Chains A and B, each alone.
Chain A
Amino acid sequence: MSEAYFPVGPGLGLEENFLSLDDILMSQEKLPGRAESTLPPLTFALGQGVSTGDSIPEGSKLEIPLWLAKGLYESKRRIISVELPKIYKEAWRTVFSADASVVDLHKMGPYYYRFGSQLLNFDNPENPEIAQTILQTFISRFRRIMDSSQNAYNEDASALVARLDELERALFRAGQKELNDFQCWEKGQASQITASSLVQNYGKRKFTDMDG
């Protein structure tokens, strides 16, 4: 990690951070939805089953990215309704309450927590349960993540990290950095001036990146 570069962090809860790359990619994730009235033909295709030029009949299924769903959703005038992705549904919530630490959250959508919090923007009767599940999942997984990030020194943790959601990965990286810095200090290397990590990276990339 470069010491001088601090990216814009993601927002909290229902808020999105406008300039955060993480939040932009998170809101690019698709969401199942349904057309509540006949929609005019959209100039840009909205995914499967909808051919351009025809209007979209009422009740047809749509796959829309979160940002679009947020923009079009209105609680008073229903144009589209939003359904829950399966990982936030009742069946999966049971899995999470049984043992959250076995689930591969990265495969289930790399932004499990952030995307789940964003779902609370839509008035869904199951909202309280979703919020509760997300919180409980985090609580039960956090201990393990913190434990391994503080103790896996110079070890290959890729198998563990591969199953973590983006938020958990950031926590894991922070823990590892802190562990490494502490070990450095213990060995008396903290005062050593080192080449900037950016420089090291560019050195490695010099030849491969020329065509980029």
Chain B
Amino acid sequence: MAGERAAELVRELHRAAGGHLPPFRAEGLRQTLEEMRVLYERNQADVSEAKSGRTDLIFLVRFRHCCLLRNQRCILAYLYDRLLRIRALRWEYGSVLPNTIQFHMSAEEVEWFNRYKKSLATYMRSVGGEEGLDLTQDIKPPKSLYIEVRCLRDYGEFEIDDGTTILLKKNSQHFLPRWKCEQLIRQGVLEHILS
């Protein structure tokens, strides 16, 4: 059945709930494009025959055309939804992605991610006065400048504003400036403790 491969791509992506990014299916995409190429070529041949009087071919041409449109739609939706997921990663993880995720992206998607990063950074520099404004900070309204955090895994040394470095060891507890550690909390390195 035509369009089945493309639908399988969409189905897999849909199954990965909650913004999770499944591996890029380059092979499935290539097969779908190949199927479309074959459909298109047959249609071209049949269209010229239909013009010279064989009206019985019109149905077939139309059928193939439907399949072409369907495949096109599936592929576009597949790629677009992946981009939405990748864009979300920038906000959830910060600008550097872990290797396991990069591994799931195609070269073009990595390129797109880098450009998105750049335009977001340019925008954030342009708002909020001299220094710019980090929009990814303070997603939730802050209540205090310093927060209590516990380290969930060995992270290594970490430098804070006043120049001192602290060692983030597993299970150690620290009292740190909020803006410094918000991203580490998002990444699951630190845990925010409420008193």
Contact = CB atoms under 8 A, between A and B. Distances in A.
B1 A6 contact: no
Contacts of B88: 2, 4-5, 198
Nearest to A195: B188
B187 interface: yes
Contacts of B91: 3-4
A1 interface: yes
B135 to A, nearest CB: 12
Which of the four size classes fits the interface of chain A?
35 or more
B56 interface: yes
B87 to A, nearest CB: 7
Given A5-B88, A47-B1, A212-B23, A68 B187 contact: no
Contacts of A143: none
A18 interface: yes
Contact of A42 (B63, B90, B101): B63
B194 A188 contact: yes
A13 to B, nearest CB: 19
Contact of B100 (A4, A18, A202): A202
Contacts of A2: 18-19, 88, 92
A191 B73 contact: no
Given A4-B88, A18-B77, A42-B60, 5 more contacts: A8-B77, A25-B11, A68-B67, A196-B186, A198-B19
12 contacts: A2-B19, A3-B139, A4-B90, A5-B19, A18-B73, A21-B81, A25-B11, A190-B140, A195-B185, A196-B186, A202-B20, A206-B100
